[in-house]
Amino acid sequence: MKSALKSRIVSAVEGDLEQIEAALSNNLTPNLSLVKDIAGHLLFSGGKRLRPLLFLLSSRLCDYPDDLAVRFSTLFEYLHAATLLHDDVVDRADMRRGKQTAHATWGSPRVVLTGDFLLARSLTLAAETKLPRIIKVIANITEEMSQGEIDQLEKKGKLDLTEAEYMAVIQGKTAVLIEGACKSGAIIAQAAGEKEAALCDYGHHLGVAFQMADDLLDYTADARTLGKNPGADIREGKLTLPLIHALAQADEGDRRWMEKVISDKEFNESDFDGIVEKLHLYGGIDYTESRARDHVEQAKKSLEIFDDCESKNIMMLLADYAIARNV
Amino acid sequence: MKSALKSRIVSAVEGDLEQIEAALSNNLTPNLSLVKDIAGHLLFSGGKRLRPLLFLLSSRLCDYPDDLAVRFSTLFEYLHAATLLHDDVVDRADMRRGKQTAHATWGSPRVVLTGDFLLARSLTLAAETKLPRIIKVIANITEEMSQGEIDQLEKKGKLDLTEAEYMAVIQGKTAVLIEGACKSGAIIAQAAGEKEAALCDYGHHLGVAFQMADDLLDYTADARTLGKNPGADIREGKLTLPLIHALAQADEGDRRWMEKVISDKEFNESDFDGIVEKLHLYGGIDYTESRARDHVEQAKKSLEIFDDCESKNIMMLLADYAIARNV
């Protein structure tokens, strides 16, 4: 079922993805080959291009001509890649998408600066739109993301993280950029305010659902599918919704045991299996799935004001895919 | 003479500096107190506010109203502070302006993210100008600076660095931002093309002169005045013009000895004194001073097209100050 959904989406957007791919390469014009290497390592390592695609689909839903939109769409992938590069440095993660991270290969200094370069690249493209409101969205995304990351850093290892705090973290970490891509699609097409608001809502709920699904994968996927080590979030001291919910529901003995495992960064595989068991026992997995499904439904509902069309269809499928994907 | 020049400038711009200072504090509105601490550590530790001041003076030279210019001027200080924060992480320097650096206090992750936040802050202000050309200048500054920093990183320890390579490094490191501040002052005032070009030239030459003077200080100032250790550039493997020129002029024996000291990061104080002696002997100091003076003259000449006025006077004094300062 999952893979059927994926094939339907892929065949519907194949042409768009090819154009986005070409534009990503054409618009990346650093003077230094090293920057191209580092940026390319991440940019061309099999990302889903979700953000440019959402910008493109949103702009199309508001009747903006495609030829310009493709070029501008790349700014959201550059921005995404910039934040991933800085996150790698911040998290000191060694693996991402199954590959060694850039900072493990090139060292933090080069990676920080390449992130800055990609941020600047996305800014240059934003300036080309000649729409100050787009620039404002991009600036806001960057502000919120940097503050969100610091917020997450400060909360590392916090065992009594609340669901509200978790929601604030994933808003800054994921939702703000996806929301910004959809919103910008409406702005560039100079769509009516209600369409812009609807696309904002869609992007917000989609982003939240995507991140919740991603956080579930850390407990449910095997390492090969995930391209990282399962349990990486706990090891990094990041409490996500499945665990937050289970901790809140657990009896005292189980809660203490779970807190001990989380605090002990050297826990072994059977400890991790034990944690996963508790997540099921106390409904952490089910609860997160159900919250993610709610957000998918809200995302789809946001699109009601648009007439039926191919772009809307794809965006509805993408919302379903947010929680159905296994990669 | 130096301090007389400084007092003349300070008394002429005192009111402006106060306004800039207040605006810097008002426009910095992070949601997290930690971001405010880290950003404030650098922003309010006695910087010269040269970049906002140059933007303000340039816009005034092109008849732009002051009240708006002060607010926008802060974006150049935020941008400058963002690059300094990332540079600290890149260089792993422990001291700057006589204080412990942010990354030594808070650790690299928080500092990288606070740099991103300040970059976003400057972007938000740029968007407020509603002038896509300003955004383009800011994007271009960020691109050039990040590439310039990587370029410098790649050239670390390169003993045969040429004067042309040095010029490219300081263009990206310092001149592009100062040039951008002056240029933006003209753009915001919607000045004629020739005025914009003149202010660009002024900023470029001023920036180059400033950096050359800064590079000289590493060999001529004592640690207390400098707020960092003299010889820090050599220790970090950064060859600057005084040394590049002396190496090119030295006889083989002296050149080999100098190269040995530079390559040996553990050199002692008497080695460093020996290097300074060679810089004098082979004209590295004189040559750099003379090149810096040339750029000051070119900066002043660029202003010829403007009628005499207070702003022009101050900008002429600032050009002289670029090479006269001892802090």
Q: Where are the domains of chain A?
A: 2-324
Q: At what angle do helices A284-302 and A310-324 cross, to 10 degrees?
A: 170
Distances, alpha carbon B24 to alpha carbons A151, A233, B70, B100, B311, in Å: 23, 37, 9, 22, 21
Under DSSP, the state recorded for A95 is E
> Exposed, middle or buried by CB within 10 Å (0-12, 13-18, 19+), for A33?
exposed
Output the six-digit token pair for B202.
């002024």
CA max distance for chain B: 60
Q: Which of A11-20, B84-93, B230-239, B308-317 has the highest mean pLDDT?
A: B308-317
pLDDT band at A5 (very low <50, low <70, confident <90, very high): confident
> What pLDDT, on the 0 to 100 scale, is given for residue B98?
67
What is the per-residue pLDDT across B274-308, written as a single tens digit (0 to 9) for each? Answer: 999 999 999 999 999 999 999 999 999 999 999 99
Closest CA to A28 of A158, A165, A122: A122
* Window A:152-171, CB contacts with B under 8 Å: 153-154
DSSP at A171:
I
Across the interface, whether the CB atoms of A123 and B142 are under 8 A apart is answered: yes
Where is B75: in which H helix or E strand?
Answer: helix B66-91
Q: For residue A148, what pLDDT band results from cuts at 50, 70 and 90?
A: confident
Q: What is the 8-class DSSP label of residue A44?
A: T
**H/E element, A99:** strand A99-100
Per the CB < 8 A criterion, the answer to whether A319 and A209 are in contact is yes
Inter-chain Cβ pairs, chain A and chain B, closer than 8 A? 146
A-proximal residues of B, 185-244, CB under 8 Å: none
pLDDT higher than threshold 50 for residue A176: yes
The CATH code of domain B2-324 reads 1.10.600.10
- pLDDT band per the 50, 70, 90 thresholds, residue B222: low
Higher pLDDT, A28 or B164: B164
Contact A113 B150 (CB under 8 A): yes
Q: What is the mean pLDDT of residues A222-246?
A: 78
Name the residue among B133, B147, B153 with its Cβ closest to that of A117. B147
Provide mean pLDDT across the span B123-140.
92
Interface contact B86-A35, CB threshold 8 A = no
Q: Determine the number of helices (DSSP H) and then strands (DSSP E) in chain B.
A: 17, 2
Does A90 or B310 have the greater pLDDT score?
B310
Nearest to A130 among B119, B132, B147 (CB): B132
The helix or strand, by DSSP H or E, that contains position A100, with its residue range, turns out to be: strand A99-100
Q: Are A75 and A61 in contact (CB under 8 A)?
A: no
Which carries the bigger pLDDT value, residue B176 or residue B327? B176
Averaged pLDDT for residues A195-204: 98
Residue A63: predicted pLDDT: 93
Tell me the longest C-alpha to C-alpha distance in chain A: 60
Question: Is pLDDT above 80 for A327?
Answer: no
**Alpha-carbon distance A155 to nearest alpha carbon in chain B (angstroms):** 12
Crossing angle of helices B193-220/B284-302, nearest 10°? Answer: 160
What residue type is B170 in one-letter code?
I
- Lookup result for tokens 């390169």: B158
- Arithmetic mean of pLDDT, B216-244: 78
> What pLDDT, on a 0 to 100 scale, did the predictor assign at position A29?
74
Residues of A in contact with B113 (CB under 8 A): 86, 90, 146, 149-150, 153
Q: Which of B143, B153, B184 would you mutate first to test chain A, the one with the most A CBs within 10 A?
A: B143
Mean pLDDT of B2-11: 84
List chain A residues with CB under 8 Å of B110.
150, 153
Is the CB of residue A281 less than 8 Å from the CB of residue A261? no
Who has greater pLDDT, B229 or B167?
Answer: B167
Residue type, A87: D
Tell me whether residues B150 and A90 touch, CB distance under 8 A: no
Q: What is the ipTM of this complex?
A: 0.87
**Which pLDDT score, from 0 to 100, does residue B290 have?**
96
CA distance A141 to A79: 9
Cβ-defined contact of A150 to B117 (cutoff 8 Å):
yes
CA dihedral A285, A287, A293, A297 (to 10 degrees): -170
pLDDT at site B91:
76
**Which residue pairs, CB below 8 angstroms and at least 24 apart, start in B56-59?**
B56/B16, B56/B20, B56/B185, B57/B16, B57/B185, B57/B311, B57/B314, B57/B315, B57/B318, B58/B181, B58/B182, B58/B183, B58/B184, B58/B185, B58/B186, B58/B189, B58/B199, B58/B202, B58/B203, B58/B315, B59/B185, B59/B186, B59/B188, B59/B189
Better-predicted residue by pLDDT, A30 or B124: B124
Q: How far apart are alpha carbons A300 and A195 in whole angstroms?
A: 14
If one counts every other C-beta atom within 10 angstroms of the C-beta of residue B294, the result is 14
Inter-chain CB proximity B147 and A35 less than 8 Å: yes
Q: What is the rounded average pLDDT of the residues A186-201? A: 97
| B 134-153 → A contacts, CB under 8 A | 135-136, 138-140, 142-143, 145-147, 149-151, 153
- List CB contacts (< 8 A) between B138 and chain A: 123
Q: Give A114's contacts in chain B (Cβ within 8 Å).
A: 146, 150
What pLDDT does residue B327 have? 40
Q: What is the average pLDDT across A150-167?
A: 90
